[in-house]
Structure 1
Amino acid sequence: MKTLVSLHGALRRLQYSKRLIINRRGDGVHSPFAFHFISRVVRNRRPYYCFEGLRAELEERKRTGRCLPPIHRTKALELLFRTAHQLEARRLLIVTPEPEESLLPAYLERTGYTEEITLTDPQLTGLTPSAIYDFILLEAIPTPSLLEELLQRASTASPQLAVALYAPTSKAREGLAQLTPSARPRLQIDLIDLQLWFYDKRLTPCRSKGVY
């Protein structure tokens, strides 16, 4: 198991290094929003006051051997916090395999803007069809048909919808690439294991790549 983890970590570092080299040549960003977002949110690692306590909680969970959810890397959790904070997202939906174990609520409820967090499983159990969300975080990806229906409904109800999709494997990323034409995000930011989709029709259509 340690060998597999090491290989996975080495592959992730290789992907990160390759993307970093490409980015140094220029981001190739043609959207003012994407340029601003990558510069001010993705690359800005300024620690917020709440991070110290949240990091301590995560380390304690690791120390005690408690189950870790799919998104448990500090960098990913803090990026999603910064994203929600930048968007001033008030109503959030988290799709996760084990809602009681997800670390995302602890981070997102501290942005200062959050009013409501809804958690559900990948089957989207118990969701209210008329609910409105500003930011959807997919710690686990539903089936293509469920996801397409969710995004279509959510983007209609909330024209400025933003979506974060966790895709840690090449297979997961290939699945998202196949889904993109029907999901129709206006702007995409590809951060390797995290994809950020924005539906605001005022945005310049763009697909940018970066690292965090």
Structure 2
Amino acid sequence: MNRFSNPLVWLVRIRHRCGYGVHSPFAFRFLTGVVYERTPYYAYATLDPALPWGMRLRRKKGLHLLLRLANWLQPQVVVAPGDASFARSYLLAGCRHAALYGSLPACGADMVLLREPDDRAARAVRDGGILVLDGLRGHREWFRNLPAALTFDLYDVGVAIYESRLDKQHYIINF
């Protein structure tokens, strides 16, 4: 089913590509410099061959986004589920000095990776941090109501940026 629905989704979302309709300089720089970055990063050559064949076809794009997000943010504290071993590898390749946790530490986090909504985790993200929700499909309403300043709906993935100096805005992006 995904084989046929993804091109249809792409066509429906075509007007949301490449940052069209984004009028915030911060959000536009984030989209063009991180989300739509086409330059092959240094770690792709070593990490991609370790992926199972099925994951290379379906998940590589999202894992590359995680690496670029970690590289852009350079977080001190990252929270990722324990079963997300490939995601953890890509996150650490993007920011080698980050402390990686399987559950929320008491001090909060700079970057949180979630597979399903978690209100406690959403409140634990520090100012200037990012929350990434993998599997956004059934949780769009929860995602839009996060206390984050900027939320980006990338169809399968949601990226929320917690930046207190920015006004709240939600963007739908064709990724």
What is the aligned-residue identity percentage?
Answer: 27
Which runs of at least 4 in structure 1 moved beyond 4 Å after TM superposition? none
Per the TM alignment, residue 114 of structure 1 is displaced from its structure 2 partner at its CA by 3.5
How far apart, CA to CA, are the structure 1 residues paired with 2:78 and 2:40? 22
Does 2:133 align with 1:165?
yes
- Equivalent residue runs for 1:92-171 within 5 Å: 92-95=78-81, 99-100=82-83, 102-120=85-103, 127-128=104-105, 130-138=106-114, 140-142=115-117, 147-152=118-123, 154-155=124-125, 158-167=126-135, 169=137
Cα gap change, 1:101 to 1:150, in 2 (>3 Å): closer
Q: Which residue of 2 aligns with 1:10?
A: 4
Per the TM alignment, residue 150 of structure 1 is displaced from its structure 2 partner at its CA by 2.3
- Equivalent residue runs for 1:54-69 within 5 Å: 54-58=47-51, 61-62=52-53
* Structure having the larger proportion of residues in strand: 2
Q: Which residue of 1 aligns with 2:153?
A: 190
Cα gap change, 1:31 to 1:9, in 2 (>3 Å): same
Are the counterparts in 1 of residues 17 and 173 from structure 2 also a CA contact under 8 Å? no
Are the counterparts in 1 of residues 150 and 169 from structure 2 also a CA contact under 8 Å? yes
Equivalent residue pairs, number: 173
Q: 2:140 aligns with which of 154, 161, 176?
A: 176
**Runs of at least 5 residues in structure 1 that lack an aligned partner in the other structure:** 1-6, 121-126
Where relative contact order (Cα < 8 A, 6+ residues apart) is larger, the structure is: 1
How far apart, CA to CA, are the structure 1 residues paired with 2:167 and 2:85? 33
Deviation sequence 1:162-181 (CA, Å, 0-9, x none) = 10111253xx2xx3314533
Cα gap change, 1:87 to 1:26, in 2 (>3 Å): closer
**Runs of at least 5 residues in structure 2 that lack an aligned partner in the other structure:** none
How far apart, CA to CA, are the structure 1 residues paired with 2:18 and 2:98? 41
Q: What letter corresponds to residue 165 of structure 1 in structure 2?
A: L
* TM norm structure 1: 0.73
Q: What letter corresponds to residue 151 of structure 2 in structure 1?
A: Q
Of the two, which has the highest radius of gyration? 1
Query: What is the root-mean-square deviation in Å for CA atoms of aligned residues?
Result: 2.3
How far apart, CA to CA, are the structure 2 residues paired with 1:93 and 1:199? 15
